[in-house]
């Protein structure tokens, strides 16, 4: 009997994590933050253009690798898809498409529409599937609930940002309503877990930053839909900024965490808060928001550059794509 020994490349492909799409979310979020900065601060447009090329290239690379995993290591993908925590990261793929649809709006309306339509439809399917799993499968326990649960359901709140630009007003309200209502429900469930049950394991602690994203993105989407800054928009924005303050006040805890791909959970929420602050500055003209927007943009850029560097080191050291 011959023993089959897989090559290192095949082994790494088998353990290539779906969480790589969180990296795409973060870098594309940074792209949008600098795109907004070009409008608000007069920042060089070449920065956002370069970041868009990087985002699109990485999206293509990660997608191709994961498709290879689907074709060659289908059982491993099925195991991830059945995992009560990893399941929530699969919709990061459709969210990446939605973010790229926003980033390409000024370059190609047709490409943006294609990405938006595909991303919206796929994300709705993910939402229906994940909610069905939560409702009917007994494998989910309180310990499985983490802020990553926001990704499949609350991610719908992103759809109006490009959807309104493409003229799909009512459809955008449909997706916004899903994201907003289930954000409140899921936030209650997750806070219950964190307050009255075992704390999040170290690997999942960075996902606490995901708490920032729903109100920050919700603020941006609501302004797109509503067209003006009203009191509900302020509630969304200030609740996001409070969460930024809350989590930054716990920075020493986060700096002691070993590197995991979950570190990328820091990136997109910070980018969303930077964009939201630039938007509220453009609507109010208040100098406070100008300086806050500049600080958040600098913070987001620094964090993502550090994440890119640390991820590159982890890849070189063969720390990623290993069995857990």
Q: In 3D, which of 153, 293, 161, 272 has the Cα closest to residue 216?
A: 272
Q: What confidence tier does 125 reach under pLDDT thresholds 50, 70, 90?
A: very high
Banded pLDDT at 274 (limits 50, 70, 90): very high
State the residue range of the domain holding 95.
10-316
Cα–Cα dist 299/309, whole Å: 15
Confidence grade of residue 321 (pLDDT, cut at 50, 70, 90): confident
Burial 194-215 (b: 16+ CB within 10 A, else e): eeeeeebeebbbbbbbbbbbbb
Does position 37 have pLDDT exceeding 80, yes or no? yes
Query: In the prediction, which pLDDT does 302 show?
Result: 97
In a domain, 214, yes or no: yes
Is the distance from CB of 304 to CB of 244 less than 8 angstroms?
no
246-250 long-range contacts, CB within 8 A, separation 24+: 247/208, 247/209, 247/211, 247/212
Q: Is 2 part of any domain? A: no
How many Cβ atoms from other residues are within 10 Å of residue 1's Cβ? 2
User: pTM to 2 decimals?
Assistant: 0.93
User: Looking at the predicted structure, is the pLDDT value of residue 267 above 90?
Assistant: yes
Is the per-residue pLDDT at 5 higher than 70? no
For residues 197 and 142, is the Cβ–Cβ distance under 8 A? yes
| Residue 5 placed within a domain | no
When divided into structural domains, the chain yields a total of: 1
Of all residues in the chain, the percent with pLDDT exceeding 90 is: 73
Domain presence at residue 324: no
Write out pLDDT tens, residues 171-202.
999 999 999 999 999 999 898 888 888 888 88
Per-residue pLDDT for 2 more than 60? no
Q: What is the mean pLDDT of residues 21-25?
A: 95
Give 40-50 pLDDT, tens digit per residue: 999 999 999 99
Averaged pLDDT for residues 134-146: 81
Report the CATH number at residue 248.
Answer: 1.50.10.150
Other beta carbons less than 10 A from residue 47's beta carbon: 17
- Rounded to the nearest integer, the mean pLDDT of the chain is 92
Q: For position 1, what pLDDT does the model report?
A: 38
Task: Tell whether 255 is covered by a domain.
Answer: yes
The string of pLDDT tens digits covering residues 212-263 is 999 999 999 999 999 999 999 999 999 999 999 999 999 888 888 888 888 9
Would 308 be classed as within a structural domain? yes
Give per-residue pLDDT as tens, 294-319. 999 999 999 999 999 999 999 888 88
Q: Within a domain: residue 3?
A: no
Residues with Cβ < 8 Å from 295, sequence gap 6 or more? none
What integer pLDDT is reported at residue 6 of this predicted model?
Answer: 62
175 occurs within a structural domain: yes
């Amino acid at each position: 009997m011959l023993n089959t020994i897989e090559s290192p490349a095949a082994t790494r492909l088998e353990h290539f994590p779906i969480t790589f799409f969180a990296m795409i979310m973060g870098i594309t979020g940074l792209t949008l933050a600098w795109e907004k900065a070009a409008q608000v601060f007069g920042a060089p447009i070449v920065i956002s253009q370069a970041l868009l090329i990087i985002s699109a290239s990485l999206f293509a690379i990660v997608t191709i690798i994961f498709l290879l995993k689907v074709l060659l290591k289908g059982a491993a993908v099925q195991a991830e898809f059945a995992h009560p925590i990893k399941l929530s990261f699969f919709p990061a793929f459709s969210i990446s498409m939605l973010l790229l649809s926003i980033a390409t709006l000024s370059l190609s309306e047709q490409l943006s529409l294609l990405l938006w339509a595909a991303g919206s439809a796929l994300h709705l399917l993910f939402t229906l599937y994940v909610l069905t799993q939560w409702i009917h499968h007994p494998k989910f326990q309180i310990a499985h609930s983490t802020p990553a649960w926001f990704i499949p359901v609350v991610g719908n709140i992103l759809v109006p940002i490009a959807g309104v630009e493409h003229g799909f007003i009512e459809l955008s309200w449909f997706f916004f309503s899903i994201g907003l209502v289930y954000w409140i429900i899921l936030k209650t469930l997750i806070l219950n877990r964190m307050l009255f049950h075992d704390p999040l394991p170290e690997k999942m602690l960075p996902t606490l930053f995901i708490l920032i994203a729903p109100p920050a993105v919700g603020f941006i989407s609501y302004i797109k839909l509503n067209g003006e800054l009203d009191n509900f928009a302020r509630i969304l924005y200030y609740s996001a900024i409070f969460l930024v303050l809350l989590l930054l006040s716990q920075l020493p805890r986060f700096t002691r965490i070993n590197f995991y791909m979950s570190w990328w959970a820091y990136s997109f929420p910070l980018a969303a808060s930077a964009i939201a602050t630039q938007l509220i500055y453009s609507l109010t003209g208040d100098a406070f928001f100008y300086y806050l927007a500049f600080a958040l943009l600098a913070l987001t850029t620094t964090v993502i550059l550090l994440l890119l560097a640390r991820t590159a080191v982890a890849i070189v050291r063969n720390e990623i794509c290993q069995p857990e």
